Chains A and B, each alone.
Chain A
Amino acid sequence: MIQRLVSSEFFVLALCVLLLAGLGPFTPGLLSAENLTNVLAAMLPLLLVAAGQTVVLIGGGIDLSATAIIAFTSVTGAKIMTLSGGWMPGHPAAVPVAAGVMLLAGFLIGLANGIAIAWLRMSAFIVTMTSLMAVSGLTVWATESKNIADLPAGFLALGQRPPSALAIAGGSLILIHVLLTKSIFGRWLHAIGHNARTARVSGVPVPAVTALSYAVSGLSAGAAAILLTGRLETGSPVLGQTMMLDIIGAAVIGGSSLFGGRGNVLWTVSGVLFLTLLDNALNLRGLSHFVIMMIKGAVILLAAGLDTLRRSGQTE
């Protein structure tokens, strides 16, 4: 019974409603339209990266490098279009070129991770962790730890105006979701996450599919960087640095498995929603940042525990 409840698709969404209903009356401002709009707008970048992370998790991997990719693509894009000392200041094509380069850079860094993991058979944990270190280091070193401001208004609008931000995030999420559920790539990825040996025997191109999953994760980090950079109005070499726990946490809270084979972008959306609402509500209750971290950590640990429980229920 409990197992049924916990593994239901709507379990986490129900938790979100419970959270709002339970804390709303005692937390002034939580249920206000302004607050909720803000929360939703703020969670779009996290949604994008967490969806990319979900792709990697389904294949049985993990991508710890997403935040470094966000920072790197943020300053790269900013450097291209900034009006003070950029490579294409004021050029009419600067914004599309910058956005395109940010996506491409994210894709390529992810692909490099994927190649090391899939063909060189290195551990995903180590590859993406060292990638996190190296890319973060490079980003801070190359910018001398300075933000890059003076971005063109057209770019800021991309990440700030709700319709365009929502369109970018929503469109990407739908694309990833459809890719996972309706394409051959999605089927293959699930099979690899379940049992890579069976997949190989059945003719699945395991290395290519695995590498591609990391490239998708990198691409989604690049897309998240477009939104985040626009919101902050600067390219920052430490952008997203604190997001890592939330990215993996949201996917796991949503119900995607750390053991591979099981995951869904829609679940991840609920996970992100829950984590963001929890953070927001606790903030509004005036709890300190550190207490909030403790609570969020406990919630994610609980979700990972449920993941293991579901898994052991499987193998019985």
Chain B
Amino acid sequence: MGALLEIQNLTKAFHGVPVLRGVSFKIQPGGITGLAGGNGAGKSTLMNLVGGNLRPDSGVMRLDGQVYEPANSAAAARAGISFVHQELNLFPNLTLAENLFLTDFPTRGFWISRSALSRQAAVLLAKVGLAYPPDLPLERLTPGERQLVEIAKALHGRPNLIILDEPTTSLSPPECERLFKLVRALQAEGCAFVFISHALGDVLRLCDHILVLRDGAVADQGAAKDFNIARLVTSMAGREVRQLFPERAERTVNAEVLLEVRGINQPGVVRDISFTLRRGEILGLSGLMGAGRTELAGLLFGLTPHRSGEIFLNGKKLRGGPRPRIRAGMALLTESRGEDGICAGASVNDNILLATLPAHARGPLGWLSSARLKPVVSDVSESVHLQTKRQGGEPIRRLSGGNQQKAVLARWLLAKPQVLILDEPTRGIDAAAKFEIYQLILALAAAGTGVILISSEQEELLALSDRILVMSRGRLSGEFVRPDFNPELLLRAALAHHHSNPEVPA
């Protein structure tokens, strides 16, 4: 029997950064392929190519022996490939039937045929084992049941291959079992699956073939029965270092505690987080996507509330929103620059000055003198090697990503923070700017700033951090002190609280 889907030497790059470097594999009809890999390994990109959401730069895909080049996800669906995304594309306010047929309502002339809609929806719901009337609003269903609705929606196109991206993250163990039972039942009817998950135990249990990606290439593959958790983790972690890092002076971190976090809890976000940060220390925060690192940063900075626990900076308890915390000596460089890092339409200089205007204002009305502000901006711009065309008068959106990020860093440098939280500071910027930002981070720490570095690039954390904390599903699951860093142990800790990873120590 020939392969259902055959992929040969697929490559894909974004803005010159290669994400897939020649991936080849086969999917057999009716097989369940487990796809594993760390953050940025290329899993999502690969599946988006298969699902028709992206087009490859080079390489060939063959479906049933025919060349397969889907123009979009609808074309992929017509060819028999359905993609169930991690974020469910469902509308809680609509009924089950309406959700199932949203893009393809059965009609009678101009009008929706309600009877046909109910009848066809009932058939699909029965297939996934949901015994609900088709006119029930989706909001009445549990997350696990909604996942089944999403699969029912995928079944509507009579697919030969269904891609499930992290389908179990919001499911309880019984709901997972129900999902797996359904997957096996559909497999028995001849449907093939690709199962993407960080729950390695599930991957091993459910799949019959496993494919491990690392750095955009196939790191390992084979029959599931030949795999165990240890082999999976080793293949995922790898050893190679591609990024260039500045020389890191060996030094001992000052013993003085700067920031103390005691028992922070926020339901559904983080659980029992306690740690300290010392003066001049670079504390890395590692974890998989969705582990709660960004949420923790927002909570430390007062952007979002927490239910219990306390945060002390220099022995003083922090309260309120970002404003008092900035005054107390904290700063946060956010993960998504465009959303809450820059004012895109405002000038570079205005962006740089935004956090420190009160320090330069005079008189009761807060007058600002541009003559006084000018040297302030030009000094700090120079210290971060910011490149602008009109002395920073142009809108910041005209700068490259790297220069935008340097401008945001400059904003916080002006505030002279004692604790600087950096959330993915090098995301989406070029290698030269990355290097300069690494140098800045090291210089800041050497000058006594406590830095919390959140990064999905493990190499970055390993190269810069004095200590690394690992988060898994909202909890701290590991602590590693330089020089005892080990990529494999970090990954194990990051996977710790994903249920049904029995062999991973918690």
B354 touches A191 (CB 8 A): yes
A201 nearest CB neighbor, chain B only: B340
Cβ of B355 < 8 Å from any Cβ of A?
Answer: yes
B366 nearest CB neighbor, chain A only: A184
Contacting A187 at CB < 8 Å: which of B321, B345, B368, B397? B368
Complex CA–CA separation, A187 to B343 (angstroms): 12
A260 nearest CB neighbor, chain B only: B345
Question: Contact mask A189-200 → B, CB, 8 Å, 1/0?
Answer: 011001101111
Binds A, one of B97-105, B192-200, B233-241, B357-365: B357-365
Cβ of A232 < 8 Å from any Cβ of B?
Answer: no
Cβ of A183 < 8 Å from any Cβ of B?
Answer: yes
A187 to chain B, nearest CB (A): 6
A267 to chain B, nearest CB (A): 16
Question: Contact mask B379-399 → A, CB, 8 Å, 1/0?
Answer: 000000000000000010100
Contacting A314 at CB < 8 Å: which of B321, B344, B361? B344
- Of the listed residues A179, A187, A200, A315, the one surrounded by the most CB atoms of chain B closer than 10 A to its CB is A187
Contacting B326 at CB < 8 Å: which of A183, A195, A203? A203
Cβ–Cβ < 8 Å partners of B332 in chain A: 201
A200 touches B321 (CB 8 A): yes
A198 touches B340 (CB 8 A): yes
Cβ of B316 < 8 Å from any Cβ of A?
Answer: no
With contacts A187-B357, A191-B350 taken as known, whether A182 is within 8 angstroms of B345 at the C-beta atoms is: no
Cβ–Cβ < 8 Å partners of A198 in chain B: 339-343, 354
Cβ–Cβ < 8 Å partners of A188 in chain B: 357
Complex CA–CA separation, A140 to B377 (angstroms): 54
B244 to chain A, nearest CB (A): 30
| Number of residues on chain A facing chain B (CB within 8 A) | 24
Cβ–Cβ < 8 Å partners of B471 in chain A: none
Cβ–Cβ < 8 Å partners of A187 in chain B: 350, 353-354, 357, 368
Complex CA–CA separation, A214 to B321 (angstroms): 23
Interface residues of B in 326-349 (CB under 8 A from A): 326-327, 332, 334, 339-346
Cβ of B275 < 8 Å from any Cβ of A?
Answer: no
| Number of residues on chain B facing chain A (CB within 8 A) | 31
Cβ–Cβ < 8 Å partners of A203 in chain B: 322-323, 326-327, 355
A200 to chain B, nearest CB (A): 6
Cβ–Cβ < 8 Å partners of B25 in chain A: none
B343 touches A185 (CB 8 A): no
- Of the listed residues B344, B353, B354, the one surrounded by the most CB atoms of chain A closer than 10 A to its CB is B354
Contacting A194 at CB < 8 Å: which of B326, B343, B357, B361? B343
Cβ–Cβ < 8 Å partners of B355 in chain A: 202-203
B341 nearest CB neighbor, chain A only: A198
B354 touches A199 (CB 8 A): yes
With contacts A184-B358, A187-B350, A201-B322 taken as known, whether A195 is within 8 angstroms of B342 at the C-beta atoms is: yes
Contacting B322 at CB < 8 Å: which of A182, A190, A200? A200
A190 touches B323 (CB 8 A): no
Cβ of B303 < 8 Å from any Cβ of A?
Answer: yes
**8 A–B pairs (Cβ distance < 8 Å), ordered by A:** A184-B357, A197-B339, A198-B342, A199-B354, A200-B321, A203-B326, A203-B355, A262-B345
Contact residues of A with B, CB < 8 Å? Answer: 179, 182-185, 187-188, 190-191, 194-195, 197-205, 261-262, 314-315
Q: A184-B361, A201-B332, A202-B355 are in contact. List 14 more A-B contacts (CB 8 A).
A: A184-B357, A185-B365, A191-B354, A195-B340, A195-B342, A197-B340, A200-B303, A202-B354, A203-B322, A203-B323, A203-B327, A203-B355, A261-B346, A262-B345
